[in-house]
Amino acid sequence: MDAGVLSERLRSVLAPVLGGDVTVGGLERLPGGASRETWVFDASRPGRETVKLVLRRDPEGAPASGLRLEAGLLEAAAREGVPVPKLVLCGDAGTGLGSTFMVVEHTEGETIPRRILRDETLAAARAHLAEGCGEALAAIHRIPVASVPGLPSGDPLEQLRLLIDRLGEPHPAFEIAFRWLEHSRPPSGGEVVVHGDFRNGNLIVGAEGIRAVLDWELAHVGDPLEDLGWLCVKAWRFGSPLPVGGFGEVEQLTSAYERAGGLQVDHAALRWWEVLGTLRWGVICIVQTLTHVSGAVRSVELAAIGRRVCEVEWDLLELLT
């Protein structure tokens, strides 16, 4: 479907929501995203301000992904006060765009981690970003599990074990981490809606702080500390010495999380989840580089990521020994 046809179809699916006199212009596909397309466009109506919207959709002919579930998550998150892009519409292949899709309002702001960590105009926001993350995570963890039916669950340590065994690339440092994780497991912090990829890189940041939490693809039901531990993984610091996303201290994150109604954070348990997150990032590096090595997706970026596994091995040894 070319941009002209897609514009016309978008116009007709948006008409019932935005009014019959809506027009669609400036449709442009954003680079990246082999498994999911992202388009931006303007929706205009006579006498009203033009709004910039974002279309995310599955490639035509591909099996439906979790986009509908994500749309439900965005609405549930908004109800709890999580900053998220505002959902305009979602639909399945029969709705008129040829595949499952969702349309959200475009959120202005910065998403590129290095700029979030270095941009002068974001200096004030940066100083309180860890607190903002604590507040957003407390709100995410308040989402009633029953309000988002269909979220996956399961033991993340067991899932990681199965995944790495399937990859056939054993690493002694990873086994040291597995042994430690198996023997030091903290008591469960409860079962909540976990974002699953809450980190520097999946946040839209403006001068006043977090404007939107993106990429809900990995959301599931699990332990709330999983999200906090993942945010502290060294890979998301992008060279900065600050442990929380490269912009803050652990104390800023946990005290804001607690003040906003999140559970009391046991720091030993948080460390366990940071180790698990670090190990998970190491396994993801292997998965990504194998998509290049196998020939499924050829890319120098994916090739290079395989040689980052040793950074993660080093991080694990530093955390554990």
Residue 304 as a binder of other proteins (CB under 8 A): the answer is yes
Residue 239 as a binder of other proteins (CB under 8 A): the answer is yes
Q: How far is the CB of 112 from other proteins (least distance, A)?
A: 6
Give the x/- contact pattern for other proteins in 127-166, rule: CB under 8 A.
----------------------------------------
The letter for the amino acid at 145 is V
Six token digits for residue 63 = 């099996």
Pick the binder of other proteins from 4, 61, 150, 241 (CB under 8 A). Answer: 241
Question: Given the complex with other proteins, which of 141 and 195 has the nearer CB atom?
Answer: 195
Residue 97 as a binder of other proteins (CB under 8 A): the answer is no
Q: How far is the CB of 240 from other proteins (least distance, A)?
A: 6
Q: How far is the CB of 195 from other proteins (least distance, A)?
A: 17
Question: Given the complex with other proteins, which of 179 and 267 has the nearer CB atom?
Answer: 179
| Window contacting other proteins (CB under 8 A); options: 209-217, 223-231, 248-256, 308-316 | 308-316
Buried-exposed string 35-52: b where 16+ CB fall within 10 A, e elsewhere: ebbebebebbeeeeeebe
Give the x/- contact pattern for other proteins in 173-202, rule: CB under 8 A.
xxxx-xx---------------------x-
| Window contacting other proteins (CB under 8 A); options: 167-175, 206-214, 221-229, 270-278 | 167-175
Q: How far is the CB of 85 from other proteins (least distance, A)?
A: 19
Which phi and psi (to 5°) does residue 29 adopt?
-85, 135
Residue 303 as a binder of other proteins (CB under 8 A): the answer is yes
Question: Given the complex with other proteins, which of 44 and 180 has the nearer CB atom?
Answer: 180
Question: Are residues 218 and 202 in contact, defined by beta-carbon separation less than 8 angstroms?
Answer: no
Q: How far is CA 319 from the centre of its chain?
A: 24
Q: How far is the CB of 182 from other proteins (least distance, A)?
A: 10
Interacting residues toward other proteins by CB under 8 A = 31-32, 112-114, 170-176, 178-179, 201, 235, 237-241, 299-301, 303-305, 307-308, 310-311, 313-314, 317, 321
